[in-house]
Amino acid sequence: MSHAYVIGHITVKDPQRWADYRSQVPATLAPWGGELVFRGARLGDLAGRQPHADVVVIRFPDQAALDAWHASPAYQALIPLRTAAADIVLTAYGT
């Protein structure tokens, strides 16, 4: 596996809290080599129905780095803010 990705499907509940959460995430990624690939808003559903309006894709060098980031105290400390700010489904993928 050459890279590991986190894809988040997001419905924002509290824009101010979401902005606060988003501003803090990059610092949690850096120690693990994580980088934001893109953030975007749904333009439309082409097949099926995606209930979340926004998406984020984050790339890591490998699954070990992805897992270490997610388990890190820095990221874990942000989860209560994330939960208050948005409904989100995070899924890990490998290439």
- What's the pLDDT at 68? 98
Residue 67: count of CB within 10 angstroms of its CB? 14
Q: How many domains does the chain divide into?
A: 1
Q: Which residues pair with 21 in a beta bridge?
A: none
Any idea what the CATH number is for the domain that residue 51 is in?
3.30.70.100
Q: What is the pTM of this model?
A: 0.93
Token readout for 77 is 């400390």
User: With the C-alpha atoms ordered 44, 12, 39, 63, is the resulting torsion angle positive or negative?
Assistant: negative
Residue-level pLDDT at 76: 98
**1 has pLDDT over 70:** no
The two tokens of residue 40 are: 């975007």
C-alpha R_g of the chain: 13
What are the tens digits of pLDDT across the range 55-95? 999 999 999 999 999 999 999 999 999 999 999 999 999 99
Its domain, for residue 52, covers 4-94
